[in-house]
Every structure is written in C-alpha cells, then in structure tokens.
Amino acid sequence: MTAVHLIVLVASLVGAVVACDLLAHRGVASWPVGLVVVALFVLAGWFYSAWLAAIALGSACGTVVMAGRDLLRLYLARKKMQSNAHRPGKAGRK
C-alpha cells in the first residue's frame, strides 16, 4: 500500500466511526454501515481495486471500534446494575 492508500484507509475509518455515531444518535444500530462494508469488500474483490480494499478495510475497522464500544457500554451497565443489586439500600434507615 502506498501512503495515499493509508490516508484513504484512515479517512474511511474516521468516516465509519462518524457514520455509526450519527446512526446511534438517531437510535439506529450500526448494521447499515456494516452492510456497506460487506458490499465494499465484494466490490473490491470483483474489481481487484486497492482503493476499494483500503476503503473497505478502514470502514470495517471503524465499524468494529464502534461495535466494541457498544459492547463495552452494555457490559459496564450490566456490571453496575449487578453491583447495585447486591448493595443494601439506604431507604429504610433513618
């Protein structure tokens, strides 16, 4: 890969993160971005295009980062709920 391909890869990573974040603000999961990434991988293989491969790889990495962030938030929220369930409440004391 040339330096220009790496710049395209990083730009598409940032674009995928922004797209997933905008979709999350609208209440939509990140699966539409993942669907576009799969289509880009198919097109890159079909046309043997390094440009499309760089865009697809960067977008896939960005989508994985955002999916990992969502999974981490879910895990931390469940852990917080479990720790609060085991802690005795202060409502009965006066």
Q: What is the pLDDT along the chain (94 residues), one digit of tens a residue?
A: 699 999 999 999 999 999 999 999 999 988 999 999 999 999 999 999 999 999 999 999 999 999 999 899 999 999 988 888 877 665 555 5
- CA–CA dist 75, 92 (Å, integer): 30
pTM: 0.81
Per-residue tokens: 42: 């198919």
- CA–CA dist 54, 41 (Å, integer): 9
